[in-house]
Structure 1
Amino acid sequence: MSADQAIPAVVPTPALVAPTVPKAYSSVSGDRLNTSDIYRDEYLIVQLPTDGIAAADTLSIRWGGRVPYSSPPVLYGELPANKQVQIPRTEVVDSIGLTVPVSYTIKKSDTGETMESEARFLTIDPQALFLPAPSYSSGTVTVNAPAPSGSTLRVRAVGDSVLDTTHQLVTASRPNLFVLDPIWVSKNKGRTVEINYSVFTKLSPQWLFSQVLRVQL
């Protein structure tokens, strides 16, 4: 084969670096997140690169949790100067005990090509108890919490507004039933809402959180 017939070299596209999570901590097993560090936060912050992306490119965060979540698409140039994106706290709570790949996609404004970054693998530290999601039927949330008798329970439902129930005590071998405010249920009819519960027990100094039920009312 002559020199002018040589196969041209393929120049690889530079990989998009993985995002970072400012509140994560490093360990020998990789990046981890302690839920106590976002205990009162409404969102988990994901940090994007601050350069190398065109202002007109469209960007979305991918959170590969128990239920995958993608942030609403936004133009890179419309993000705050610190180039941070918020992941709802509910998505983090739903993935307690799991290792979650966190990445982002970019749709190039000039070519229309969609590219995905490398992933940051984030392990959400487990709690003292594994708390499965509740169930829901006809306005009532049923909780079977594997918590000691005398522990305190409450339910939170998120729809067009946040509904917090009154507290109940755990009784061994009996489910806890929470009747949601019928006005709230009516306002959210036809909408997918997120429902979970929290437990205060002698096993932990903080409330523990269950996985999240997503249900259309």
Structure 2
Amino acid sequence: MTAAEPTSTPTAPPVAAAGPVFRTAGAADVPALVALVESAYRGESSRAGWTTEAHLLEGQRTDEAAVAELLGRPDSVVLLVEGDDGGPVACCHVERRGTAAYFGMFSVSPAAQGGGLGRRVLARAEEWARVEWGATAMEMTVIEQRPDLIAWYERRGFARTGEFEPFPYGDERFGVPLRTDLRFAKLAKQLAGPPAQRVH
């Protein structure tokens, strides 16, 4: 008898890393969403990430009443990404406005920034708007004094429209401004491609 030929163990193909887990937010998520948004934009904790507005505004970025109101609107959804503890590590608000969709309340935990999660949240928001509502464009407003953030959106296909909206000075629900020239620049992006399948 001849010795058996050695056999090689087949190598399994590499397994792609699991993507973020998205779901739509509900009323029970409101307190955690507020904490996430505040951590990304306000106070010392926000300075650990690049989305901070602490150099422009003090006070709150949002509150529970405002987030609950977004959840209660028709044609309005808050998408969130769950962390290992079940709480949100990223979120955004998407609202249908005619043939376009509005994108706002975009927040990524400072500890989760820099790894591409923000790009995936934006892509999911665009997919939702296109597939669920047949939107042909995505619109948003960004504080004009955030050129780094505007440039980030421009690299992802958004463009300035040349339109501006005033900052709500005197309404501390939106924060306490540290300068007198704040205003919002409007950005827009065309959403290409026919709807494929529903997101949920």
User: Which TM-score band (shorter chain)?
Assistant: under 0.3
TM-score w.r.t. length of structure 2: 0.27
Indicate the structure (1 or 2) with the bigger Cα radius of gyration.
Answer: 1
Higher strand share: 1
Larger RCO (CA within 8 A; separation ≥ 6): 2
TM-score w.r.t. length of structure 1: 0.26
Higher helix share: 2
